[in-house]
């Protein structure tokens, strides 16, 4: 039997191989979209502020002289400050359909975490709870949206063979915004706004203040949710700057009560639709194609990666109305801009209030991502 070598990723050449490996594994998958290499290099190096509060290691698996798998292991110290439960994470897993390769990858990640006093392994998180999470286990027949994963169908069963078990599922909901809202939701939204409640677009003239408001509302809204780790202003600013070319004030809305921002929604054009045939490369003609599609040709899909309502504002009848107002405001402008489908993701399987809102607005849970766990 040919040996499997596990190689720590050190230096830019190995990182480049690490980033490109899934492109070969998915070469026959018409729905796979390679992320931009430049974006991945930023996300997987110290330019990403996550590295300021985490320990991270990447590995490649090699067999018969070729790269056949990859994995990361990471320890998020912000998460451990909130929950000192000895949980470390693995992520970015991709491999050929070979149990020995997948075992070798999981073993090296587990050993690395165990050597740093972790007692439980959780994942995949790419790289943390506020970035890409979960392994795709249902919904392989459509391409992934911006900053969402796309995995091989065999990978989930292979993880389970190695003793990992489901910890939590999260859903991606898809809206067909060319269709009107269901009648019940339409009646609710068409009522006059409660006194003191307004919905407004993002004000780019106050960009820094708006980003601070997003951070504050997000951390308040989701603080009691499973897996929550607060966003720092540095992380929100990094995310906002990296995605700023996609931000459009018509697709970023705040809801205010008596002049105070108490909720927000961020909808982004689906960059994956624009880069689907670039194979991760922007040179020599990728930039031109990307700009044409974003600015001229127009995209038909978008994604809502961030949304939140302050807990104090989420109570009672008015509180239950605010998410409807935000989603409808974005979908109305998105439809006017030529978009046809919006994904809202991700939604925890046990977040029944948000799932009911999505479904009452006509959303369909069309992809399932799974987070696994295993004692070390």
What digits encode the pLDDT tens for the residues 57-101? 999 999 999 999 999 999 999 999 999 999 999 999 999 999 999
pLDDT over 90 (residue 313): no
Q: What's the pLDDT at 284?
A: 54
The residue ranking higher by pLDDT, 141 or 36, is 141
Q: What's the pLDDT at 282?
A: 63
Q: What's the pLDDT at 25?
A: 96
Q: What's the pLDDT at 44?
A: 95
pLDDT over 80 (residue 280): no
Q: What's the pLDDT at 92?
A: 97
Q: What burial letters (b/e) apply to 319-357, b meaning 16+ CB within 10 Å?
A: bebbbbbbbbbbbebbbeeebebbbbbbbbbebeebbeb
Cα–Cα distances in angstroms (integers) from residue 375 to residues 80, 113, 121, 176, 280, in the given order: 16, 11, 6, 41, 36
pLDDT over 70 (residue 292): no
CATH top class, domain 175-369: alpha beta
Mind spelling out the 3-state secondary structure of 293-323?
HHHHHCCCEEEEEEEEECHHHCCHHHHHHHH
Distance between CA atoms of 183 and 141, rounded to whole angstroms?
A: 30
Q: What's the pLDDT at 193?
A: 82
Strand segments (E) across the chain = 5-8, 54-63, 66-76, 87-95, 120-123, 125-126, 132-133, 135-138, 165-176, 197-201, 252-257, 260-269, 301-309, 341-348, 364-375
φ and ψ of 75, to 5 deg: -125, 115
Per-residue pLDDT reduced to its tens digit, 191-242: 888 888 899 999 989 988 998 899 999 999 999 899 999 988 888 888 888 8
Cα–Cα distances in angstroms (integers) from residue 254 to residues 40, 173, 202, 309, 323, in the given order: 30, 21, 7, 10, 10
Distance between CA atoms of 20 and 34, rounded to whole angstroms?
A: 8
User: Residue 372 has which token pair?
Assistant: 């696994």
The residue ranking higher by pLDDT, 240 or 132, is 132
The strand pair at 301-309 and 341-348 is best described as parallel
Per-residue pLDDT reduced to its tens digit, 14-32: 999 999 999 999 999 999 9
Yes or no: say if 101 and 95 are a contact pair by the CB < 8 Å rule. Answer: yes
Query: Where are the domains positioned within the chain?
Result: 4-170, 175-369
Yes or no: say if 252 and 236 are a contact pair by the CB < 8 Å rule. Answer: no
User: Residue 122 has which token pair?
Assistant: 């959780």
Distance between CA atoms of 117 and 244, rounded to whole angstroms?
A: 39
The residue ranking higher by pLDDT, 177 or 274, is 177
Residues 320-334 have a mean pLDDT of 89
φ and ψ of 77, to 5 deg: -70, -25
The rounded percent of the chain whose pLDDT value lies above 90 is 66
Q: What's the pLDDT at 148?
A: 95
Distance between CA atoms of 173 and 304, rounded to whole angstroms?
A: 10
Residues 251-273 have a mean pLDDT of 92
User: Residue 250 has which token pair?
Assistant: 């018509």
Q: What's the pLDDT at 293?
A: 63
The residue ranking higher by pLDDT, 237 or 356, is 356
CATH 3.40.30.10 is right for the domain spanning 4-170: no
Provide the pLDDT confidence category of residue 286 given band limits of 50, 70 and 90: low
Closest CA to 243 of 65, 62, 3, 39: 39
Distance between CA atoms of 107 and 105, rounded to whole angstroms?
A: 5
Least confident range from 53-57, 290-294, 326-330, 372-376: namely: 290-294
Same fold, 4-170 and 175-369: yes
């Amino acid at each position: 039997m040919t040996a499997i070598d596990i190689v720590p990723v050190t230096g830019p050449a190995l990182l480049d191989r690490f980033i490109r490996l899934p492109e070969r594994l998915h070469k026959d998958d018409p729905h796979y979209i390679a992320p931009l290499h430049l974006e991945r290099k930023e996300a997987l190096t110290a330019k990403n502020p996550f590295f300021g509060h985490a320990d991270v290691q990447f590995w490649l698996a090699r067999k018969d002289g070729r790269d056949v798998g990859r994995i990361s292991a990471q320890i998020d110290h912000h998460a451990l400050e909130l929950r000192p439960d000895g949980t470390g994470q693995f992520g970015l897993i991709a491999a050929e359909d070979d149990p020995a390769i997948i075992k070798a990858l999981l073993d090296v990640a587990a050993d690395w975490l165990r050597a740093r006093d972790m007692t439980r392994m959780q994942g995949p998180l790419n790289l943390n709870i506020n970035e890409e999470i979960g392994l795709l286990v249902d919904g392989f027949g459509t391409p992934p949206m911006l900053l969402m994963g796309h995995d091989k169908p065999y990978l989930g069963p292979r993880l389970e063979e190695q003793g990992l078990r489901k910890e939590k599922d999260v859903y991606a909901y898809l809206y067909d915004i060319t269709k009107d809202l269901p009648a019940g939701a339409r009646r609710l939204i068409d009522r006059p706004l409660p006194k003191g409640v307004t919905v407004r677009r993002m004000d780019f003239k106050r960009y820094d203040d708006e980003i601070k408001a997003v951070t504050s509302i997000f951390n308040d809204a989701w603080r009691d949710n499973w897996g929550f780790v607060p966003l720092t202003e540095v992380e929100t600013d990094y995310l906002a700057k990296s995605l700023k070319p996609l931000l459009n004030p018509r697709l970023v809305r705040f809801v205010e009560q008596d002049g105070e921002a108490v909720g927000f929604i961020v909808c982004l054009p689906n960059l994956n639709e624009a880069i689907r045939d670039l194979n991760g490369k922007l040179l020599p003609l990728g930039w031109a194609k990307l700009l044409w599609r974003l600015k001229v040709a127009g995209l038909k899909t978008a994604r809502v990666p961030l949304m939140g309502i302050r807990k104090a504002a989420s109570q009672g009848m008015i509180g239950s109305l605010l998410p409807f107002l935000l989603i409808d405001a974005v979908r109305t402008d998105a439809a006017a801009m030529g978009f046809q489908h919006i994904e809202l993701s991700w939604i925890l399987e046990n977040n029944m209030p948000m799932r009911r809102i999505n479904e009452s607005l006509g959303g369909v849970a069309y992809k399932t991502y799974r987070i696994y766990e295993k004692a070390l």
